[in-house]
């Protein structure tokens, strides 16, 4: 097994190599600046989805289609992001983090322009797929960058800051998308996204450093073996190789559990114009967009607190064991989110929407959206740090495999949300989501209880934490 704190060997000619802590390569100011940059890139996936969802009714009218058909663009985007995560993680492991960001941002810029000028559904779906691939490094590589720079006992808080900043767009994007759709057109928000992509590319080009640990990139090993890099094309890397990590039962279990948590988000948000907005007679796109914000605000409030709490839990239990590290300690906080706020919020939202009318019902739904935002972050965010902890040397690939498997499940589930609500109603749909969330809770418990044994079944390069 590789060590979580793998030493960096630096040798000068004629000298004996000396050990240097790889986490001291950057000053605190450089680390904060880098986290700020990856947080801005982490904003992009949520901006893309957040601006799009409130505009679904207008897009359907503009392209002579229906809500469920346009909703298919979300499902395909989720699936495309899984492939994008696999692609960027494989190339970031070989070439490093910086080249991947600098290649993906131009793709996001072009595809956002393509979405803005789409005149029919096939064009829209095609450009949305490319757009999802373009923003895939935002979360897939961002957590790996945090793992590159921060030690085990600092990682949770840094991850919380990164994810909290990234989640700002969950609160801001839907109202902005609603304002754009109401006063101008849904296409304006896509043009704004393309401008943001261009600005981020220029910033990353000028300031973003390579954070991969020296000597660990595939490129470094390639050169060390005396091989010559082709000058006219990149080396082909199989993007599906990261899926080999899914041999680990832990990655499968964590992906399924997080999918159950995230599904409650989608079930509350995607049909919102046809459920909560329709139930309480909200037709203004701005107000519909504002209804999405409480969940994003819950994310923002919870993320930094959760990161700090998780670090404290790790330190506490490590001290109890006399310095022995158990990465599953990070998941203890996930139990609380998966047991209470996530399932109860989606279950109660269905009941309130069906049986409570007027301002009281709308107010309760807003509170339940906020509660769900807190619960999902509480249950899912520790998993990001956990995957980096157990697979430090392959953090980007483990994150990509996790996102890919989760996204495949989510793409299938998301495509069924609106048809299921049309057929069975909001109570049945939301109740099923709550039951799945409680199943996710049981999977977290199994991982905490038996994680060490499951890691011993198949060694895919787990970190030791020493």
Express each pLDDT in 410-446 by its tens digit: 777 777 787 888 888 889 999 999 999 999 999 999 9
Here the CATH number for the domain that contains residue 202 is 1.20.1250.20
Among 208, 180, 156, 160, which residue's Cα sits nearest to residue 47?
180
- Do the domain assignments include residue 426? yes
Would you call 10 helix, strand, or coil by DSSP? strand
Task: Record the tokens describing residue 425, joined without a space.
Answer: 């109603």
The string of pLDDT tens digits covering residues 358-410 is 889 889 989 999 999 889 888 888 887 788 777 766 766 777 777 778 777 77
At 7, the pLDDT band (50, 70, 90 cuts) reads: very low
The number of folded domains in the chain is 1
User: Mean pLDDT throughout 59-80?
Assistant: 75
The string of pLDDT tens digits covering residues 110-147 is 999 998 888 888 888 888 888 888 888 877 788 788 87
* pLDDT on residue 16: 36
Residue 110: other Cβ atoms inside 10 A: 15
Taking all residues of the chain, what is their mean pLDDT, rounded to a whole number? Answer: 79
Helix, strand, coil shares of the chain as percentages rounded to 5? Answer: 80, 0, 20
The string of pLDDT tens digits covering residues 212-247 is 877 777 777 777 776 766 665 667 677 777 777 788
Long-range contacts formed by 328-331: CB under 8 A, 24+ apart: 328/386, 328/447, 328/448, 328/451, 328/452, 329/448, 330/156, 330/382, 330/383, 330/385, 330/386, 330/389, 331/382, 331/383, 331/386, 331/444, 331/447, 331/448, 331/451
Least confident of 94-108, 154-168, 290-304, 406-420: 154-168
User: Mean pLDDT throughout 164-170?
Assistant: 70
Q: Are 275 and 421 in contact (CB under 8 A)?
A: yes
Residue of 464 and 201 predicted with greater confidence:
201
Residue of 382 and 173 predicted with greater confidence:
382
How far is CA 419 from each of CA 69, 274, 415, 424, rounded to the nearest angstrom? Answer: 11, 12, 8, 8
Assess whether pLDDT exceeds 60 at residue 307. Answer: yes
Strand partners, 9: 19
* pLDDT on residue 315: 80
- Domain hosting 452: range is 23-229+238-457
Place of tokens 């991850």: 159
- Do the domain assignments include residue 431? yes
Q: Are 7 and 21 in contact (CB under 8 A)?
A: yes
Assess whether pLDDT exceeds 70 at residue 15. Answer: no
The string of pLDDT tens digits covering residues 18-48 is 434 677 788 888 888 888 898 888 888 877 8
At 203, the pLDDT band (50, 70, 90 cuts) reads: very high
Among 323, 403, 348, which residue's Cα sits nearest to residue 136?
403
In SS3 terms, 316-375 reads as HHHHHCCCCCCHHHHHHHHHHHHHCHHHHHHHHHHHHHHHCCHHHHHHHHHHHHHHHHHH
Q: Are 128 and 72 in contact (CB under 8 A)?
A: no
Cα 365 from Cα 356, distance rounded (Å):
10
Least confident of 50-54, 109-113, 125-129, 460-464: 460-464
User: Mean pLDDT throughout 56-77?
Assistant: 75
Say how many CA atoms lie within 13 Å of 433 toward its Cβ. 36
Extract the runs of DSSP E, i.e. beta strands, from 17-129.
18-20
The string of pLDDT tens digits covering residues 315-331 is 888 888 777 778 888 88
Assess whether pLDDT exceeds 60 at residue 84. Answer: yes
Exposed/middle/buried for 225, CB within 10 Å: 0-12, 13-18, 19+? exposed
What backbone torsions phi and psi does residue 455 show, to the nearest 5 degrees?
-65, -25
- Do the domain assignments include residue 63? yes
Least confident of 67-76, 334-343, 375-384, 441-450: 67-76
- Do the domain assignments include residue 449? yes
- Do the domain assignments include residue 50? yes
Among 92, 90, 103, which residue's Cα sits nearest to residue 135?
103
* pLDDT on residue 233: 61
Contacts of 30 (CB under 8 A, 6+ apart): 209
User: Mean pLDDT throughout 72-92?
Assistant: 77
- Do the domain assignments include residue 11? no
- Do the domain assignments include residue 17? no
At 107, the pLDDT band (50, 70, 90 cuts) reads: very high
What backbone torsions phi and psi does residue 20 show, to the nearest 5 degrees?
-135, 140
Assess whether pLDDT exceeds 60 at residue 8. Answer: no
- Do the domain assignments include residue 439? yes
* pLDDT on residue 14: 37
How far is CA 26 from each of CA 32, 35, 38, 157, 213, rounded to the nearest angstrom? Answer: 10, 12, 15, 17, 11
């Amino acid at each position: 097994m590789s060590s979580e704190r793998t030493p960096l060997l630096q040798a000068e000619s004629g000298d004996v190599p000396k050990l240097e802590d790889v986490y001291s390569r950057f000053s605190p100011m450089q680390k904060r600046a880098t986290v700020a940059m990856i947080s801005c890139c982490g904003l992009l996936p949520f901006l893309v989805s957040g601006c799009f969802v409130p505009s679904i009714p207008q897009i359907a009218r503009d392209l002579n289609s229906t809500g469920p058909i346009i909703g298919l663009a979300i499902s395909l985007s989720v699936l495309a992001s899984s492939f994008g995560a696999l692609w960027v993680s494989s190339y970031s492991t070989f070439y490093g983090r910086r080249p991947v960001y600098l290649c993906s941002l131009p793709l996001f810029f072009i595809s956002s322009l393509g979405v803005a000028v789409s005149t029919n559904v096939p064009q829209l779906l095609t450009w949305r797929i490319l757009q999802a691939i373009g923003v895939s490094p935002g979360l897939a590589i961002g957590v790996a960058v945090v793992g590159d720079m921060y030690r085990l006992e600092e990682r949770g808080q840094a991850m919380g800051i990164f994810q909290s900043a990234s989640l700002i767009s969950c609160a801001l994007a839907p109202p902005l998308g609603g304002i754009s759709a109401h006063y101008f057109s849904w296409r304006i928000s896509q043009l704004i996204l393309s401008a943001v992509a261009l600005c981020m590319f220029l910033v990353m080009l000028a300031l973003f450093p390579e954070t991969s640990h020296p000597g660990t990139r595939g490129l470094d090993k390639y050169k060390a073996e005396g091989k010559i890099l082709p000058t006219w094309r990149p080396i082909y890397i199989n993007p599906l190789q990261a899926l080999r990590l899914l041999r680990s039962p832990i990655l499968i279990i964590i992906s399924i559990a997080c999918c159950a948590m995230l599904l409650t988000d989608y079930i509350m948000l995607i049909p919102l114009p046809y459920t909560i907005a329709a139930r309480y007679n909200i037709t203004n796109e701005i107000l519909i967009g504002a209804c999405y914000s409480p969940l994003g605000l819950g994310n923002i409030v919870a993320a930094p607190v959760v990161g700090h709490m998780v670090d404290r839990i790790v330190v506490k239990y490590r001290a109890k064991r006399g310095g022995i590290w158990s990465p599953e300690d990070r998941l203890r906080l996930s139990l609380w989110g998966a047991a209470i706020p996530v399932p109860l919020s989606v279950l109660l939202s269905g009941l309130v929407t069906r049986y409570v009318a007027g301002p009281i019902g709308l107010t309760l739904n807003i509170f339940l959206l906020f509660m769900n935002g807190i619960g999902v972050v509480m249950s899912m965010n520790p998993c990001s740090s956990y995957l980096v902890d157990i697979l430090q040397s392959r953090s980007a690939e483990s994150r990509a495999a996790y996102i890919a498997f989760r996204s495949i499940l989510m793409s299938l589930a998301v495509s069924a949300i609106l048809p299921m609500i049309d057929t069975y109603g909001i109570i049945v749909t939301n109740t099923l989501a709550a039951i799945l969330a409680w199943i996710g809770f049981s999977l977290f418990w199994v991982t905490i209880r038996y994680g060490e044994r499951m890691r011993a079944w198949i060694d895919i390069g787990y970190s030791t934490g020493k």
